[in-house]
């Protein structure tokens, strides 16, 4: 009983000082993202498969605008693929703490419509992960549009 | 004689069922006493009163002299007739034969097992055990327990199979027990297992004679208490509580599969609501995206967070179960139908609850019903709620911490000196999960 009370007290104390490492979600407001496309250039543009978008001078501000304009909570925990389009900096995606380390990274010569990609990319098992990107690897598979749809080149 | 009679009558001065009769005999008069309802009137007349009045001898299998009024009073309460003459007092057994006959078990239903469940009469119960185990090694040691209302308690064991230290420990516990009575099953359980700080059962009860006898054959100690239609066996461990005697009536593969399913059900009953809360609130990325999308859609318009939904449903489930227990059978079933189906469906349709939460709590409840021991299922219900709170506080980390605490708690439990997780802490896990094949000598037919 004493142990339980001590554990509860410690938990409340951590929560009071904002040190609780667990962040609760309101699940009904979540907008799960499966694919994120990043386009660079003068402005960075982010698009997700569920219709969210954000633009900004750099990646963090584009992400902040994407989150602010979302009708709920943009949830990147389910994001399975990041597509780096022309001008996109790989380091930006690699340093995004919202993306999971095993998120697959692809490159594309032009910005694809993100809504078309989840089903196609879920079939790709190999390729470069965000963790490998963080560790310095740069050999991401390429997405090429063909008559039959999107083709992935370079994935194992 | 006069003093004896006065003392005895004073003890039963307020007893309306205490009968006193003066019987004229050729050599004078004798006084007869008995408790109406505890004796068989026909036997009393034929084998005690009539022979006495005709100067003959009392015909009773058990006739013993009574040294003092206190002993006499106790014998009267056991269904004896006390005959008080000038030369002393005698008591003769003329017990009433109004007893419940063994019937099929009501709580622990069986397909292939014996259909003679224990009754409230100790002697019938011990006879049932004897008829199942016709062995000279069967020991039946009796003790009287209780200072206010003494109750006969039988300790049964098979010589050569049981642990003598454990047997001695049970007998010692009964002998040193300082209780007024053993009227309720809870009192017996507390007395035998000691005052415990755990929700998990430290002994097993059964109304099935075959289950009780199998436990004796497995080297456990059995306890029968007069007035209770149950047999207790101890020591127990988790694997014992997860076994059903029906396992032995099935083939090796089917029995092993069912047993493993029971362990899965145990894990699901314990962890499912907590895992759901943890994943919904803290780790939604653990849920497959399609399923998450479906859950999010079903949660739209539901006013309560997932934690409150699950906790509320768990409490509602417990209330329904409790209501079903206290009501007559027919109404109990109606309550289950109304509570489970009508209210549940209406709550989902009215968007008070999400279907996912309802499914998870119901699945956990059904898994709890798969456990063969009701006491174990009760403990699981308690811990399920605790684990759910841990998950609500710390997600999967909290759930894991709670599960570890449970494991530590179980590892610290002992039943009659035997570790609660015995088959798992030794390298016998396989035997706990899979029903072992019988020895070759038993398998080969002559």
pLDDT tens digits along B251-286: 889 989 999 999 999 999 999 999 999 999 988 988
- Which residues is A105 bridged to in the sheet? A82, A128
Has residue A116 been placed in a domain?
Answer: yes
Query: What Cα–Cα distance (Å) separates residue B115 from each residue in A111, B107, B118, B123, B282?
Result: 75, 12, 10, 18, 51
**Is B306–A11 a contact, with Cβ atoms under 8 angstroms apart?**
no
Phi, psi of B277 (to 5 degrees): -60, -45
Query: What Cα–Cα distance (Å) separates residue B281 from each residue in B304, B307, B400?
Result: 12, 8, 15
Q: Which residue of A has its CA nearest to B302?
A: A28
Element (H, E) at B282: none
> Is residue B200 domain-shared with residue B295, that is, in the same domain?
no
Element (H, E) at A93: helix A90-94
pLDDT in tens, B169-208: 888 888 887 777 777 777 777 777 776 778 899 888 888 8
Has residue B99 been placed in a domain?
Answer: no
Has residue B113 been placed in a domain?
Answer: no
How many separate helices (H) and strands (E) can be counted in chain A?
5, 10
Interface of B with A in 273-292 (CB under 8 A): 280-285, 289, 292
Has residue A18 been placed in a domain?
Answer: no
Domain residue limits at A146:
27-153
> Is residue B402 domain-shared with residue B255, that is, in the same domain?
yes
**Is A32–B296 a contact, with Cβ atoms under 8 angstroms apart?**
yes
> Is residue B225 domain-shared with residue B361, that is, in the same domain?
no
B342 or A68, which is more confident?
A68
- Which residues is A152 bridged to in the sheet? A143
Has residue A143 been placed in a domain?
Answer: yes
Examine the pLDDT at B443 and tell me if it is beyond 60: no
On whether any CB of chain A is under 8 Å from the CB of B306, the answer is yes
How much of chain A, in percent, has pLDDT values that exceed 70?
A: 91
- Per-residue confidence (pLDDT) for residue B438, from 0 to 100: 64
Most confident region among A66-75, A117-126, B81-90, B246-255 by mean pLDDT: A66-75
Q: Could you tell me the pTM of the whole model?
A: 0.78
Query: Cα(B418)–Cα(B162) distance, rounded to whole angstroms?
Result: 13
Q: Residue B41: which of B97, B120, B87, B105 has the closest Cα? A: B97
> Is residue B195 domain-shared with residue B318, that is, in the same domain?
no
Which of B284, B293, B295 is the closest to A77 by Cβ? B284
Say which range, A35-44, A139-148, B15-24, has the weakest mean pLDDT.
A139-148
| Residues in chain A, total | 156
A72 in Cβ contact with A50 (< 8 Å): no
Min CA distance, B313 vs chain A (Å)? Answer: 18
Min CA distance, A47 vs chain B (Å)? Answer: 18
Has residue A7 been placed in a domain?
Answer: no
Has residue B439 been placed in a domain?
Answer: no
Instruction: Return the structure tokens found at B94.
Output: 């003329």
B19 in Cβ contact with B79 (< 8 Å): no
Has residue B98 been placed in a domain?
Answer: no
Min CA distance, A41 vs chain B (Å)? Answer: 31
Instruction: Return the structure tokens found at B98.
Output: 């109004």
Over chain B, what is the mean pLDDT? 85
SS3 of residue B57 by DSSP: coil
- Per-residue confidence (pLDDT) for residue B440, from 0 to 100: 53
Report chain A residues touching chain B, CB-CB < 8 A.
Answer: 11, 22-28, 30, 32, 34, 75, 77-78, 80, 100
- Per-residue confidence (pLDDT) for residue B222, from 0 to 100: 93
The ipTM (two decimal places) reads 0.80
**Number of separate domains in chain A:** 1
Whose tokens are 């199979």? That residue is: B161
Which residues on B lie below 8 Å from A23 (Cβ)? 282
On whether any CB of chain A is under 8 Å from the CB of B293, the answer is yes
Whose tokens are 């005690």? That residue is: B48
Burial B305-332 (b: 16+ CB within 10 A, else e): bbbebbbbbbebbeebbeebeeeeeeeb
Q: B346 pLDDT band (50/70/90 cuts)?
A: confident
Has residue B433 been placed in a domain?
Answer: no
Examine the pLDDT at B28 and tell me if it is beyond 70: yes
> Is residue B229 domain-shared with residue B267, that is, in the same domain?
no
**Is A32–B284 a contact, with Cβ atoms under 8 angstroms apart?**
yes
Residue to mutate among A1, A27, A77, A81, with most B CBs inside 10 A, is A27
**Number of separate domains in chain B:** 3
Has residue B195 been placed in a domain?
Answer: yes
Cα of B224 vs its chain's centroid, Å:
11
Domain residue limits at B336:
247-425
> Is residue B272 domain-shared with residue B320, that is, in the same domain?
yes
> Is residue B374 domain-shared with residue B253, that is, in the same domain?
yes
Query: What Cα–Cα distance (Å) separates residue A58 from each residue in A75, A123, B188, B422?
Result: 20, 31, 74, 61
Say which range, A12-26, A45-59, B358-372, has the weakest mean pLDDT.
A12-26
Has residue A72 been placed in a domain?
Answer: yes
HSE toward the beta carbon, residue B305, CA cutoff 13 A: 12
Boundary-marking domain end, from B212, B236, B260:
B236
> Is residue B211 domain-shared with residue B302, that is, in the same domain?
no
Residue to mutate among B198, B281, B387, with most A CBs inside 10 A, is B281
Write the CB contacts of B420 (distance below 8 Å, at least 6 apart in sequence). B200, B202, B236, B237, B238, B410, B411, B413, B414
> Is residue B387 domain-shared with residue B263, that is, in the same domain?
yes
> Is residue B312 domain-shared with residue B198, that is, in the same domain?
no
A150 in Cβ contact with A94 (< 8 Å): no
Has residue B264 been placed in a domain?
Answer: yes
Q: At what angle do helices B374-411 and B252-281 cross, to 10 degrees?
A: 70
**Is A100–B285 a contact, with Cβ atoms under 8 angstroms apart?**
yes
> Is residue B39 domain-shared with residue B164, that is, in the same domain?
no
Q: Where are the alpha helices (DSSP H) in B141-251?
A: 164-175, 185-193, 209-217, 238-241
């Amino acid at each position: 009983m004493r142990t339980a009370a001590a554990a509860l007290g410690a938990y409340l104390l951590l929560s009071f000082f904002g040190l609780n490492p667990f962040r609760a979600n309101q699940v009904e407001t979540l907008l799960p993202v499966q694919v994120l496309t990043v386009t660079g250039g003068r402005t960075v543009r982010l698009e997700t498969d569920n219709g969210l978008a954000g633009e900004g001078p750099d990646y963090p501000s584009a992400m902040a605008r994407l989150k602010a304009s979302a009708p709920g909570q943009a949830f990147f925990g389910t994001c399975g693929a990041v597509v780096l389009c022309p001008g996109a900096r790989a380091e930006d995606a690699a340093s995004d703490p919202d993306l999971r380390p095993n998120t697959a990274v692809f490159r594309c010569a032009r910005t694809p419509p993100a809504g078309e990609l989840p089903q196609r990319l879920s079939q790709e098992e190999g390729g470069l992960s965000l963790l490998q990107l963080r560790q310095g690897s740069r050999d991401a598979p390429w997405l090429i549009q063909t008559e039959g749809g999107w083709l992935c080149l370079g994935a194992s | 004689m006069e003093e004896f009679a006065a003392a005895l009558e004073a003890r039963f001065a307020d007893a309306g069922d205490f009968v006193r009769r003066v019987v004229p005999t050729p050599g004078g008069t004798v006084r007869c006493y008995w408790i109406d309802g505890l004796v068989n009137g026909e036997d009393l007349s034929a084998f005690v009163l009539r022979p006495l009045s005709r100067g003959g001898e009392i015909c009773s299998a058990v006739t013993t002299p009574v040294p003092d009024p206190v002993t006499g009073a106790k014998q009267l309460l056991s269904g004896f007739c006390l005959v008080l003459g000038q030369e002393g007092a005698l008591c003769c057994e003329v017990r009433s034969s109004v007893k419940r006959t063994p019937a099929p078990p009501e709580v622990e239903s069986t397909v292939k097992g014996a259909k003679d469940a224990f009754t409230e009469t100790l002697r019938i119960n011990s006879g049932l055990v004897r008829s199942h185990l016709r062995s000279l090694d069967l020991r039946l040691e009796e003790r009287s327990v209780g200072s206010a209302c003494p109750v006969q308690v039988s300790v049964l064991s098979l010589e050569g199979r049981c642990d003598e230290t454990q047997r001695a420990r049970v007998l010692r516990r009964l002998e040193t027990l300082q209780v007024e009575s053993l009227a309720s099953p809870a009192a017996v359980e507390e007395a035998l297992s000691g005052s415990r700080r755990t929700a998990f059962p430290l002994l097993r009860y059964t109304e099935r004679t075959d289950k009780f006898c199998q436990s004796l054959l497995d080297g456990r100690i059995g306890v029968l208490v007069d007035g209770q239609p149950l047999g207790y066996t101890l020591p127990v461990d988790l694997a014992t509580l997860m076994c059903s005697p029906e396992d032995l009536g099935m083939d090796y593969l089917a029995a092993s599969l069912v047993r493993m399913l029971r362990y899965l059900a145990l894990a699901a009953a314990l962890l499912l609501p907590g895992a759901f809360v943890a994943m919904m609130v803290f780790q939604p990325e653990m849920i497959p995206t399609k399923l998450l999308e479906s859950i999010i859609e079903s949660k739209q318009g539901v006013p309560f967070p997932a934690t409150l939904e699950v906790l509320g449903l768990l409490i509602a489930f417990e209330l329904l179960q409790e209501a079903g227990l206290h009501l007559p059978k027919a109404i109990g079933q109606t309550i289950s139908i109304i509570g489970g189906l009508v209210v549940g469906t209406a709550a989902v349709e009215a968007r008070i609850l999400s279907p996912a939460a309802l499914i998870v709590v119901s699945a956990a409840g059904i898994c709890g019903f798969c456990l063969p021991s009701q006491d174990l299922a009760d403990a699981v219900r308690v811990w399920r709620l605790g684990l759910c709170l841990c998950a609500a506080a710390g997600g999967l980390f909290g759930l894991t911490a709670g599960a570890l605490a449970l494991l530590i708690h179980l590892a610290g439990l002992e039943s009659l000196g035997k570790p609660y997780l015995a088959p798992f802490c030794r390298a016998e896990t396989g035997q706990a999960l899979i029903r072992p094949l019988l020895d070759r000598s038993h398998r080969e037919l002559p």
